[in-house]
Each structure stands twice: as structure tokens, then as C-alpha cells.
Amino acid sequence: MKSSAKKEKKPGLTYAKAGVSIEEGDALVARLASKNKLIGGFSGVFPLPVAGMKDPVILASTDGVGTKLLLAQKQKVLDTVGIDLVAMVVNDLIVSAARPLFFLDYYATGKLTQDEGDSVLAGILAGCKEAGIPLLGGETAEMPGLYKPGDFDLAGFAVGVADRADLIDGSNVRPGDVILGLDSTGVHSNGYSLVRAIVKEARLALGRTYRGLDGTLGEALLRPTRIYVRAILSLLDAVRPTAMAHITGGGLPGNLVRVLPKDAKAVIDTEAWVPPAVFALLREKGGVERDEMFRVFNMGIGYVVMCRPEEEAAALKSLARSGVVARRIGAIAKGRRQVVLN
């Protein structure tokens, strides 16, 4: 005899059961919107300031933080990687003499949590404040299966404006120009795959203070990338650089060569400055060759300005007023396009 009892219906799948919390995402956006009135719709609106420009052009840049995120996750310190994100993007943008206008972010994670999301976005907002631009919007994507719980990635995008006649592209560089190096805060956000390999192979302790460091190794490695926007925009009011470069992956050799004309070389005096102690530690513990260190890391120089020798004093004075330590680290000479490390 067949049972007359009805079979209990199995509850259907939901987005939350699949690993995505719409409520958590909405709450994160709401918290961000409460701090930033430009956010909340499907897109951001920004009035384009072109007053006084004869031929305004738009410039754009995008970047990420790289595997520095893994060290941040390991140490559970997530409130500075957002600063790194903004810095990596806007520092690239100002190389051409563009004035950054606004920033957008992309934050992808396996499982969105309030504490993690708030910490990451707090860093992005802090970076935007330092750069003098608004966070105009972005995307927060929760993607279980693609990212493990606790894993996340960041990407950033910025747009700037400049008068075409004011753009700086290195075409005016000539022998005799001086090369000014602006201090970095440390490793910044490049070379962290090598950093992590050294930490692992040499069994370095992130919580230990090694010789020369002013804190723990973990603190030194998570120190956020310096944002040079305000200093460079002030500099542009004082002098006319012939070229500028943001020293990221590739170090001084890989980034300076990008702004050199084919008949000029950059000769760098590597004894003109003392790199932060963290670089000496990484080189020693990892057994890394000198040229490899300069090819991978910024070695204490996060940004470079090239200018005519008669403008050197004014440039250094302007940078000092902005609180940036800078000095001459080399000069441009005649020769094939290359960077020579003396």
C-alpha cells in the first residue's frame, strides 16, 4: 500500500549557500557610501576641470599590489594595502605631468567579511586622501571557488588630465641633465615574489627585529608605498622636468630606460644614497647579486626626476618643502639608450 504522506520538499539552493552574501556586499557599499557621497549608483560622475587648458587630454592608469597581499594576509594587517594600491596607480599617472582626478577600485575575494572589507577600503580611502582625489566608485566581487576563504586581490584605476603642451615624455632629455632620486619608504609594492622566497628559504621571522630595522621585518615589508602626487604637482609649478619615472618592477635600470631617447644614457652613482636597511637584509639572507637587487627592487629610490642642471636647486627646494628627501643620483650622458650603475 502506497503511503499517503507527502514527501517533504528539500530546501532550494540560495546564493548564500553557494558562498556569496548579497547582504554583506550591500552592507559594505552602504558603509562606504556613508563616508563618500560620490558612491552609491551604477557609475560615478565627475566634472572635468579644463579651465585654462588649450588642448586638454585624458590620461589613465591601472595597477595592483601583487603578492605583497600574501604577506599582508599572513600578518592579518590589511589596512595599508589599499594605500599601496592607490600609490601604484597615481604615481604612474603623474610621470606624464597629469593631475589625477579620481580613483576606482576592484576588490575580489573568496568570502567577504566586514572586518576585512572595512580594513582594505579604509586603506584605499586613506590613499585617495593623500593623493588629493576622490574614490569615485568600484566593484566588490565575492567569488567562492575562484578564491579560497581569506584570499583576495585588488586592482585600481585612475584618470588624470593635462594640457597636451605640458605632457612630459622624455623626448627633451639631453646629455648634461641631472637625475634626482626621491626616497622610497622601502620595498613599496614590487619584487614580493622574491621577498617571500627569501623569507621562506632563509627562515626569516616576520615578527623579529633584525639589525638596522626600526621595527619588525613584517612591519618593514608592509610599509605602504609612498604617494608622490602632491610633491610632484608642486614641483611642476617650480620647474619643467625633462622626464620622470616611477621606480617599480625592473628597478632603476628597467624604468629609467623607458624615458630615455635613443642617443642618451643614464649614469647612476649608486653611492649617492644609502638604501633602507631592509634591502641589505634581503640581499644578505637571500644571497642575491647586486645587479639582481637593482633589477628587482627600487633600492630606496621610489621616483626619479630629470631636469636641466640650472633647475636642480629649485627642484630640490620644492621637493624639500613637500617633505620628500631627494638628491642628485646621476646624470644623462651621450650614448646608446641604457642605464649604467656605477
Question: pLDDT tens, 33-76?
Answer: 666 655 555 546 566 777 778 888 899 999 999 999 999 999 99
Question: pLDDT tens, 261-305?
Answer: 999 999 999 999 999 999 999 999 999 999 999 999 999 999 999
Q: Please list, in sequence order, all residues whose beta carbon lies within 8 angstroms of the beta carbon of residue 103, skipping any fewer than 6 positions away.
A: 86, 89, 90, 124, 127, 128, 131, 133, 134, 135, 136, 156, 157, 158
pTM of the full structure: 0.86
State which residues form the domain around 124. Answer: 22-40+55-166
Nearest C-alpha neighbor of 161 from the set 59, 230, 47 = 59
Q: Are residues 151 and 216 in the same domain?
A: no
Report the pLDDT value the prediction gives residue 200, as an integer from 0 to 100. Answer: 92
Q: At what angle do helices 81-93 and 68-75 cross, to 10 degrees?
A: 160
Residue at which a domain ends, from 100, 132, 166: 166
Angstrom CA distances, 2 to 6, 7, 19, 182, stand at: 11, 12, 39, 84
**Contact (CB, 8 A) for 183 and 253:** no
Q: Are residues 140 and 190 in the same domain?
A: no
Sign, Cα dihedral of 324, 328, 332, 337: negative
Checking if the pLDDT of 91 tops 90, the result is: yes
Residue 173 lies in a domain: no
Lowest mean pLDDT among 4-18, 137-151, 216-230, 238-252: 4-18
Residue 321 lies in a domain: yes
Lowest mean pLDDT among 24-28, 109-113, 190-194: 24-28
11/304: higher pLDDT: 304
Report the number of distinct structural domains present in the chain.
2
Residue 17 lies in a domain: no
Q: Are residues 146 and 185 in the same domain?
A: no
Checking if the pLDDT of 98 tops 80, the result is: yes
